[in-house]
A = this chain, B = another copy of it.
């Protein structure tokens, strides 16, 4: 057994049995070891941003880490943006990054770079293996680091000789993982007192607070006390739909957040931090907590969120049933222009039960939450770190994690281009993913933001930097070029027919919605 084989065995023993990979020469022994282990599934991405984004989507749905396989510093660099999103979304992940053999580094061959330096800004845990005999233990520690609540990015750098040299037989045993921090009685008492004060209060939630069981507890608290339930603007995963306690989503723009929070006197944080403006704007506030509002943290992201909510429900005697979302779908539009609103209606009309919606629709997505609020239960995955290009890869990972559920990937055209290579993996793995491209042919958010930041009216050169036309992207050809079935919708009737069919049938399909 060599180091690579001991590592793969250790990963599988610890429950890490999917590897999203884009390997190079220095990873060939690890690839051979993957081949030897029938319990490890390998999924190839043609670009590393697909690999790390897929591992993120997988972790959100599977609740456990996937491994990634990346090629030295530049390969890790290509994966950094989606590591950033995963880090912000608190997804567990184990990155295996190939490196030159330990004795080869000193020669500074062309691919040499400071891999630990590249890894550190986007990783919670970084280690370079020293000897083949230690690789299994390093792997076990990487998995433990990844699973440390609420989820961490662990990056293990594997010099080629630590992969190919002999190692002791067998896997390293899984290491004990820290428990989430238990609920603090003082925090529960403070939150309960705030809720009983009779003043306007909100629960602002993220992380596991947005799963069905925790939402039920939060809903009981809300029913008993009149508190509003809010989530952060961007969440890694929320369960929603008919029968589930609904949550208002904080809007994106700071002035809308201020409006949503006007008059709130108590903000109780559950798995999150106080709201801040996504960007800074001249003369506008960064901190979006209203001036007269007290902030109480019931549980941090690393805490036992369900436990804390249960204790809070007890403390405010919230024994009644929570209010849940009713069942109901919008009627699909029958005519009119194909636009974000008519698309949202169609999605609301046909979203199947158990669907996983990966939402990177950006400015085209505003109508979606309302249109799908009464659909059968489903999961909704958001852009946690603001780095666009997360959606298509995350859809890959979600579909690998949940092969029996339909994945609906709602993608802005500008965002989709960053990691467009994900379509090939969807086709190769025949994943059950429907992709809707909102083809407005511009960076619409930037055209809005250009004005909002107070830059003067844009001239033609600035506009050309915010615009995706000239030439227009043809997403049907892009998808077919990667072996993925695709169609174009330019009218409500076409879109309705295509989305209904795509959501009803298994397998990958892309719809370019020209809006």
Contacts and interface: CB of A to CB of B under 8 A. Distances in A.
B100 A113 contact: no
A482 to B, nearest CB: 6
Interface stretch (A133-141, A326-334, A442-450): A442-450
Contact of A280 (B101, B117, B476): B101
Interface in A9-56: 21, 23-26, 28-29, 31-32, 34-36, 42, 44, 46-47, 49
A101 B479 CA distance: 39
B424 A473 contact: yes
A31 B273 CA distance: 32
B24 A446 contact: yes
A48 to B, nearest CB: 8
A476 B475 CA distance: 13
Interface in A258-280: 273, 276-280
Contacts of A273: 108
Contacts of A161: 280, 282
A95 interface: no
Interface string A138-164: 000000000000000000000011001
B462 A31 contact: yes
Contact of A464 (B42, B46, B421): B42
A417 interface: yes
Contact of A465 (B23, B47, B421): B23
A62 interface: no
A456 B459 CA distance: 60
Interface in A445-485: 445-446, 449-450, 453-456, 458-462, 464-466, 468, 470-484
A505 interface: no
A160 B32 contact: no
Nearest to A76: B80
Among A100, A282, A482, chain B packs the most CB atoms within 10 A around the CB of: A482
A78 interface: yes
Given A78-B49, A121-B73, A280-B160, A421 B427 contact: no
A402 interface: no
B385 A74 contact: yes
A287 interface: yes
A286 B508 CA distance: 46
